Amino acid sequence: MNDKLKKELMWAIAVVVVLVGSATVNYVYVVGHEYDIARPANSPIPPNSTVIQVIGAQWSWTFVYPNGTKSVDALTLQVNHTYTLMVSSQDVIHDLLIPQMGVQVYAVPGHNNTVSFEPTKVGTYYFECVEYCGEDHYLMRGFLTVVS
């Protein structure tokens, strides 16, 4: 085997190793965050689900609980209970991501998108906007607290 063929073979092997490694990392990330492709946004609201209105605005998230109580950049939920987030925006497009819950849903002005999920572990988790929405986009983050 000549040197040129050996170099080409080594490059081909290196590319395959990088691609397989990248695919493995992505697979572990998706499985580890429990994304549920069978639970798309805007599915019917499950029975016994508590609906929470979520309003994205430059540069905060407002949560409105069923009793009318509002919270900014902080969401508190009960463990092992189903919740449906009804998400909209009052200005530009936002994208709410709660990675540890496998939740990602767009906030679009004049439109409600819904996503349902059930927190199964007590703890504190972060959420953020992952759609660039202006100069202070980095401020659109907060914490989800799951309590017993």
- Spell 112-143 as b/e; 16+ CB within 10 A means b: ebbbbbebeeeeebebbbbbebeeebeebbbe
Q: Would you state the pLDDT for residue 21?
A: 87
pLDDT of 81 > 60? The answer is yes
Q: Are residues 1 and 70 both part of a single domain?
A: no
**42 found inside a domain:** no
Q: Total domain count for the chain?
A: 2
- CB-based contacts of 134, cutoff 8 Å, min separation 6: 58, 59, 92
What DSSP state is assigned to residue 67?
A: T
Domain assignment present for 67: yes
Q: Residue 90: what pLDDT?
A: 95
Whether residues 91 and 24 fall in one domain: no
Based on the domain organization, do 16 and 84 belong to the same domain? no
Domain that holds residue 21: 1-32
Q: How many Å apart are CA 33 and CA 40, to the nearest integer?
A: 15
Q: Please name which of 121, 124, 117 lies closest in space to residue 87, comparing C-alpha atoms.
A: 117
Q: Is residue 56 part of a domain?
A: yes
Q: What is the pLDDT of residues 12-57, one digit of tens each?
A: 999 999 999 888 877 776 665 555 555 566 678 889 999 999 999 9
Please measure the distance between the N-terminal and C-terminal CA atoms of the chain and give it in whole angstroms.
Answer: 66
Residues 76 and 138 in one domain: yes
Q: Which residues contact 41 (CB under 8 A, 6 or more apart)?
A: 105, 106, 113, 114, 115
For residues 57 and 24, membership in a common domain is answered with no
Per-residue pLDDT tens for 102-145? 999 999 999 999 999 999 999 999 999 999 999 999 999 999 99
Judgement on whether residues 21 and 84 belong to the same structural domain of the protein: no
Q: Same domain, yes or no, for 101 and 71? A: yes
Residue 90: other Cβ atoms inside 10 A: 13
pTM over 0.85: no
Residues 20 and 77 in one domain: no
CATH of residue 92: 2.60.40.420
CB 124 within 8 Å of CB 145: yes
